[in-house]
């Protein structure tokens, strides 16, 4: 094996290790989701000297979780042996629930939160799509409040099983 | 005695960014005063959420203001360490919350303006402002929808709620002219493709409001004159009280971080 390929292998391995560490950081407000599931993690670069650059994007302008996420990323990287890490927030393109992975949506549903329905649009944002109850699967649901316990959720109620539930707004 | 106020180099772009940032911060602060006092728990959460969106928008804007100014100041310096006359927010957002109807009317009037403003800002030549607009426009559309629905419910509700909504509209209307005031700063930056032309938004704003007010059975007030002054730092006495609350910590312990 030539020295160059060895270096490249080493570099790929480093990137993979950094990615693995960062991708498992969780959203502090919905701990069942990782930042990779959410689509908040935009990119990871590892320089040859081992410095890691991570770009994340906030869900909402005022999302208080974003600072915690930045801190948790640095901690996760430090534990994986990357002591030099920079986390940058990018606003553009604006985050959308369309970036949430299918795994993420399934995890949300299992956690009792209705995942965003359909693709981002004005109609979807305003909750005009039919929302399926995460508890019993009924579509016989109604909106209780446009806002919920966090910026990204609205409060809904199921008329079939009578349970209230959070809906992750489609934005 | 040494002052804890910052001094900074003024420029058109900085002034414009501070206008948007101060509007968002002051209204966000006003709305947060409802936390724990709103008429119902869902609304308590809603107003706190809208406040959070606005304070978040303000943070991005102040961060950009610091970058534009370029002498090493931070978002906190701009938010907490200026004198009252250096705040550039419009008079509408500093008005006291009043009753729930007044808060809702203020929100509808402001959100209808910002909804149009951010949507146009998305095509700004200034990439940072366009990026902020891309996030804020969805949030603002949601605020407008929420407050608009409430205004319809109040206006088309009981005699009491109708009267309160109409009174609030009559009282706040004189502060809406300022939203469309195009001075040299607004005009210049509109001409260079950096920011929307606020004057041109007035027609669309009236069109956005008309169906909401009609459904709410509210009458558009006839204001003999419009109040003005916020954009040049001439505020009502209310701002002094807001700043006393907002700035206390940074004035007592300058540069405190946690
Ligand atoms: Zn159900």
Q: Give B36-80 pLDDT, tens digit per residue.
A: 999 999 999 999 999 999 999 999 999 999 999 999 999 999 999
Q: What share of chain B is helix, strand, coil (3-state, %, to 5)?
A: 70, 0, 30
Instruction: Assess whether pLDDT exceeds 90 at residue A6.
Output: no
Nearest CA in chain B to A125: B142
With respect to residue B222, please indicate whether it lies within any of the assigned structural domains: no
Out of B46, B56, B127, the one facing A61 most closely (by C-beta) is B56
Do A65 and A121 fall into the same domain?
no
Mean pLDDT for chain A? 90
Please tell me the distance in Å from B224's CA to the nearest CA on chain A: 37
Enclosing H/E stretch for A155 = strand A153-158
Instruction: Calculate ∠ Cα B97-B102-B105, nearest 5°.
Output: 120
Bridge partner residues of A164 (DSSP) = A157
B55, B56, B134 member nearest A92 (Cβ): B134
In a domain, B1, yes or no: no
- Within 10 angstroms of residue B170's Cβ, the number of other Cβ atoms is 16
Q: Decide: B107 and B139 in contact? Cβ < 8 Å.
A: no
- For residues A66 and A126, membership in a common domain is answered with no
Residue at token pair 């469309």 = B180
Indicate if A87 and A107 belong to the same structural domain. Answer: no
Which of B42, B53, B146 lies closest to A61 in CB terms?
B53
Same-domain status, A115 and A88: no
Tell whether A145 is within 8 A of chain B (Cβ).
yes
Query: What is the per-residue pLDDT for A171?
Result: 87
The model's pLDDT over A87-99, given as tens digits with 9 standing for 90+, comes to 999 999 999 999 9
Last residue of a domain, one of A71, A95, A119: A95
Q: Are A50 and A110 contained in the same domain?
A: no
For residue B215, the Cα-to-chain-centroid distance in whole angstroms is 25
Contact A40, A27 (CB under 8 A): yes
Residue B145's closest chain A neighbor by CA?
A: A126
Q: What is the whole-number distance in angstroms between the Cα of residue A108 and the centre of ligand 1? A: 15
- Among A78, A95, A112, give the residue marking a domain's end: A95
Residues A24 and A74 grouped into a single domain? yes
Q: Is residue B224 part of a domain?
A: no
Give the separation between CA B6 and CA A164, rounded to whole angstroms. Answer: 49
Q: Is B228 helix (H, G, I), strand (E, B) or coil?
A: coil
Assess whether A89 and A117 both reside in one domain.
Answer: no
Contact status of A55 with chain B (Cβ, < 8 Å) = no
DSSP A25: P
Query: What does the pLDDT average to over B21-26?
Result: 98
Contacts of B131 in chain A (CB under 8 A): 90-92, 94
Residue A72 to residues A24, A46, A91, A104, B200: CA-CA distances in angstroms?
10, 18, 20, 19, 45
- Tally the domains of chain B: 1
| B127 domain-assigned | yes
CA of A111 to the centre of ligand 1 (A): 14
Range with the lowest mean pLDDT among A8-22, A89-103, B162-176?
A8-22
Asked if B46's CB is within 8 angstroms of A145's CB, the reply is yes
Exposed e or buried b for every residue in B186-203, given b needs 16+ CB within 10 A?
A: beebbeeebbbebeebbe
Over residues B171-197, the mean pLDDT reads 97
Q: What is the number of domains present in chain A?
A: 2
ipTM of the predicted structure? 0.85
Q: What is the CATH number of the domain that holds B52?
A: 1.20.1260.10
B6 located within any domain: no
Q: What is the pLDDT of residues A64-91, one digit of tens each?
A: 899 999 999 999 999 999 999 999 999 9
Taking the centre of ligand 1 as the mean of its atom positions, its distance from the CA of residue A131, in whole angstroms, is: 10
What is the pLDDT confidence band of residue A4, given thresholds at 50, 70 and 90? low
CB pairs under 8 A between A and B: 69
Which residue, chain included where needed, has tokens 């609205």? A154
In a domain, B135, yes or no: yes
Residue pair A136/A84 in contact by the 8 Å Cβ criterion: no
Provide the β-strand partners of residue A32.
none
Question: A87 lies in which domain range?
Answer: 3-95
Same structural domain for residues A120 and A161?
yes
Which residue of A64, A95, A146 is in closest CB contact with B146? A146
Q: Does B4 reside within a domain? A: no
Q: Is residue B245 part of a domain?
A: yes
Pair A49, A107 in one domain: no
Nearest CA in chain A to B44: A147
Of A17-26, A60-69, A116-125, B109-118, which range is least confident? A116-125
Residues B176 and B106: their CA atoms lie apart, in Å, by 9
Q: Which domain holds residue B237?
A: 12-217+230-252
The reply to whether A94 touches chain B by the CB within 8 Å rule is yes
Domain boundary at A49, A76, A95, which? A95
Considering the domain architecture, whether residues A121 and A75 belong to the same structural domain is answered as no
């Amino acid at each position: 094996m030539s020295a160059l390929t060895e270096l490249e292998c080493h570099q790929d391995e480093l990137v993979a290790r950094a990615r693995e560490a960062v991708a498992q950081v969780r959203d502090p407000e919905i701990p069942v989701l990782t930042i990779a599931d959410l689509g908040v993690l935009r990119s990871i670069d590892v320089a040859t000297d081992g410095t890691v650059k991570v770009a994340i994007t906030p869900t909402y302008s005022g999302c208080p979780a974003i600072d915690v996420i930045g801190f948790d990323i640095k901690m996760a990287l430090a534990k994986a042996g990357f002591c030099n890490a920079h986390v940058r927030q990018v606003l553009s393109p604006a985050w959308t629930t369309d970036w949430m992975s299918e795994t993420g949506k399934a995890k949300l549903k299992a956690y009792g939160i209705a995942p965003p329905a359909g693709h981002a649009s004005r109609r979807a944002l305003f909750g005009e799509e039919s929302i399926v109850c995460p508890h019993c699967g009924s579509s016989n649901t109604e909106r209780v409040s446009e806002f919920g316990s966090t910026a990204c959720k609205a409060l809904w109620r199921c008329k079939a099983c009578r349970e209230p539930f959070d809906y992750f707004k489609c934005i | 005695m040494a002052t804890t106020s910052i001094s900074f180099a003024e420029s058109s772009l900085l002034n414009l960014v501070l206008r948007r940032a101060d509007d968002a911060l002051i209204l966000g602060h006003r709305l947060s005063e409802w936390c724990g006092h709103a008429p119902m728990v869902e609304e308590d959460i809603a107003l706190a959420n809208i406040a959070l969106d606005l304070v978040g928008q303000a943070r991005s804007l102040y961060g950009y203001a610091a970058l534009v100014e370029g002498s090493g100041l931070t978002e906190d310096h701009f938010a907490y360490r200026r004198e009252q006359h250096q705040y550039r927010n419009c008079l509408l957002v500093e008005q006291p919350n009043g009753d729930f109807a007044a808060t809702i009317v203020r929100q509808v009037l402001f959100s209808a303006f910002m909804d149009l403003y951010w949507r146009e800002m998305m095509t700004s030549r200034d990439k940072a402002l366009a990026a902020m607009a891309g996030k804020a426009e969805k949030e603002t559309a949601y605020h407008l929808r929420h407050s608009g629905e409430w205004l319809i419910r109040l206006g088309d509700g009981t005699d009491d709620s109708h009267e309160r909504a109409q009174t609030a509209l009559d009282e706040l209307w004189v502060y809406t002219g300022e939203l469309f005031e195009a001075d040299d700063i607004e005009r210049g930056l509109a001409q260079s493709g950096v920011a929307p032309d606020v004057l041109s938004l007035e027609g669309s704003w009236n069109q956005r409001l008309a169906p909401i007010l009609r459904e709410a059975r509210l009458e558009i007030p006839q204001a003999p004159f419009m109040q003005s002054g916020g954009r040049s730092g001439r505020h009502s006495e209310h701002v002094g009280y807001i700043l006393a609350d907002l700035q206390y910590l940074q004035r007592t312990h300058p540069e405190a971080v946690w």
